[in-house]
């Protein structure tokens, strides 16, 4: 099959927030501009006004439309109703590709795609974990259950697409050597995202951007901030930007610690609008796949300190001194204090924007994705 033939592509994922949503938006825009037809199926109960505004920006690229329906995080009987409810509508779209993102989106996409195959449709089924169930430990009973499901779903998969070497290695270790063909395609950024963002006049010392949930480490950030103040011997300042169910608990921690004048919290906003609000960005995640926020910050010329998790070392380089041990407030505090005392050392550790652009381009990502789709379609 030639890549010149327009494809009909449906992306399926649960929660329209964070990196998965960003990944799909980029693909939708790039593939629409290349002449393909794109649609989205996702949850209708997650997200707020910020996400609604993001949907507005990509609606012009969704020739196959936007389907939003309740999709719960946990596995349950409601999933059967979702599959039945969506199968007919998706069949009417006549997709060539159903691409599931994240554990729940991947499961729904492959089950629905398999139902379409049984009814005679020629559709290829793809899955990108984006971390998802791979964040569980093999010693965790829930983890072993999800890994067994991942193994089962391989029978309904025409291609596994990973966004980092780390994600692929975790899948191999926890689920097993994949039976379907596998592909590594890094996330990518648009050309305008490589333009520098300067500090605002009132920029804080540190900046956290991300979901307000334990996995992303906002609690570690707050604790490390307190310890960094002790190390430098003076008050510091920080800005935290993001939303999430756990946000009130972090706001309470800040108040109880007497930090409300030194740490301010804001609702989620576009990353480039947020970058100038803090001199040094901190990514204290306990786990990641290939986080867009790290790519975006570096492309904008922002220095950062990050946990050595997921694909972050693939972006910064495995020996980069800006990488710190995850879930370690002392190590993070030491790095934050060093960034205050010697900011030039941190700046010099950042990769160049030209190098980043050569490796993490949205156009390259989208082109590689289409070639992968076509290669797998040819095997059906």
116 and 245 together in one domain: no
pTM of the shown model: 0.84
198 and 124 together in one domain: no
CB atoms within 10 A of CB 47: 19
Residue ranges with strand state E in 5-76: 8-13, 37-43, 65-69
Region 256-270: what's the mean pLDDT? 95
Range of the domain at 220: 192-358
Is the CB of residue 28 less than 8 Å from the CB of residue 65?
no
222 and 367 together in one domain: no
Is the CB of residue 132 less than 8 Å from the CB of residue 126?
no
**pLDDT confidence tier of residue 198, bands split at 50, 70 and 90:** very high
Whether residue 1 is contained in a domain is answered as: no
For residue 170, what are its two tokens?
A: 């975790």
- State how many domains the chain has: 2
366 and 337 together in one domain: no
User: Looking at residue 345, which CATH number applies to its domain?
Assistant: 3.40.50.2000
Whether residue 210 is contained in a domain is answered as: yes
**Torsional sign, CA 75, 77, 81, 87:** positive
Looking at residue 48, its pLDDT comes to 85
353 and 212 together in one domain: yes
CA–CA gap between residue 92 and residue 295 (Å, rounded): 37
For residue 1, what are its two tokens?
A: 């099959």
Is the CB of residue 228 less than 8 Å from the CB of residue 193?
no
DSSP 331-348: HHHHHHHHHHH-HHHHHH
Is the CB of residue 194 less than 8 Å from the CB of residue 302?
no
Whether residue 161 is contained in a domain is answered as: yes
175 and 217 together in one domain: no
How much of the chain exceeds pLDDT 90, in percent?
83
The phi-psi region of residue 233 (left if phi > 0; otherwise alpha if psi is between -120 and 50; otherwise beta) is left
163 and 39 together in one domain: yes
255 and 175 together in one domain: no
**pLDDT confidence tier of residue 1, bands split at 50, 70 and 90:** very low
Of 286, 244, 168, 310, the residue nearest 295 (C-alpha): 310
Q: What average pLDDT is seen over the chain?
A: 94
| pLDDT tens track for 62-73 | 999 999 999 988
Burial of 148 (0-12, 13-18, 19+ CB in 10 A): exposed
Whether residue 151 is contained in a domain is answered as: yes
Whether residue 2 is contained in a domain is answered as: no
Whether residue 62 is contained in a domain is answered as: yes
Looking at residue 342, its pLDDT comes to 96
With both helix axes pointing from N to C terminus, report the angle between 102-118 and 141-153 in degrees, rounded to the nearest 10: 30
207 and 353 together in one domain: yes
**pLDDT confidence tier of residue 4, bands split at 50, 70 and 90:** low
For residue 63, what are its two tokens?
A: 């020739």
Burial of 142 (0-12, 13-18, 19+ CB in 10 A): exposed
18 and 125 together in one domain: yes
CA–CA gap between residue 148 and residue 142 (Å, rounded): 10
205 and 87 together in one domain: no
Looking at residue 89, its pLDDT comes to 86
Is the CB of residue 275 less than 8 Å from the CB of residue 281?
yes
Whether residue 3 is contained in a domain is answered as: no
For residue 17, what are its two tokens?
A: 């927030």
For residue 322, what are its two tokens?
A: 């800006």
For residue 314, what are its two tokens?
A: 């693939």
Order the strands of the 159-162 sheet from edge to edge. Answer: 65-69, 37-43, 8-13, 97-101, 124-128, 159-162, 182-184
Is the CB of residue 96 less than 8 Å from the CB of residue 9?
yes
Looking at residue 5, its pLDDT comes to 83
CA–CA gap between residue 361 and residue 313 (Å, rounded): 18
Whether residue 257 is contained in a domain is answered as: yes
Residue owning tokens 């991942």: 150
**Residue partners of 91: CB distance under 8 A and separation at least 6:** 116, 119, 121
Q: Looking at 45-59, 187-201, 208-222, 265-279, which range is the least confident one?
A: 45-59
Region 16-30: what's the mean pLDDT? 93
171 and 225 together in one domain: no
Is the CB of residue 78 less than 8 Å from the CB of residue 70?
yes
| pLDDT tens track for 149-162 | 999 999 999 999 99
């Amino acid at each position: 099959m030639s890549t010149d033939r327009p494809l009909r592509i449906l992306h399926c994922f649960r929660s329209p927030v964070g990196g998965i949503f960003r990944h799909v938006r980029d693909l939708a825009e790039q593939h629409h501009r290349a002449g393909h037809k794109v649609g989205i199926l996702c949850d209708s109960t997650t997200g707020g006004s910020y996400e609604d505004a993001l949907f507005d920006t990509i609606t012009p690229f969704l020739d196959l439309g936007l389907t939003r329906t309740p999709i719960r995080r946990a596995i349950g009987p409601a999933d059967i109703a979702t599959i039945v409810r969506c199968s007919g509508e998706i069949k009417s779209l006549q997709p060539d590709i159903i691409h599931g993102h994240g554990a729940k989106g991947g499961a729904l996409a492959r089950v629905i795609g398999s139902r379409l195959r049984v009814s005679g449709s020629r559709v290829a089924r793809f899955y990108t974990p984006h971390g998802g169930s791979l964040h569980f430990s093999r010693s965790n009973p829930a983890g072993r259950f999800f890994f067994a499901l991942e193994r089962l779903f391989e029978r309904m998969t025409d291609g596994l697409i990973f966004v980092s070497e780390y994600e692929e290695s975790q899948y191999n270790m926890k689920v097993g050597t994949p039976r379907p063909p596998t592909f590594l395609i890094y996330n990518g950024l648009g050309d305008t995202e490589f333009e520098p963002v300067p500090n605002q006049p009132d920029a804080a010392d540190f900046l956290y951007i991300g979901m307000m949930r334990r996995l992303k480490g906002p609690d570690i950030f707050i604790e490390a901030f307190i310890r960094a103040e002790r190390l430098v011997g003076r008050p510091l300042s920080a800005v935290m930007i993001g939303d999430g169910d756990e946000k009130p608990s972090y706001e309470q921690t800040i108040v109880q610690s007497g930090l409300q004048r030194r740490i301010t919290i804001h609702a989620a906003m576009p990353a480039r609008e947020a970058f100038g609000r803090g001199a040094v960005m901190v990514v204290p995640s306990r786990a990641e796949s290939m986080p867009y926020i790290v790519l975006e910050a570096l492309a904008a010329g922002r220095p950062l300190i990050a946990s050595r998790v997921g694909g972050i070392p693939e972006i910064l380089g495995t020996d980069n001194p800006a990488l710190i041990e995850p879930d370690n407030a002392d190590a993070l505090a030491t790095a934050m204090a060093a960034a205050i005392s010697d900011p030039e050392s941190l700046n010099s550790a950042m990769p160049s924007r030209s190098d980043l652009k050569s490796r993490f381009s949205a156009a390259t990502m989208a082109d590689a994705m289409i070639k992968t789709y076509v290669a797998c379609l040819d095997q059906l």
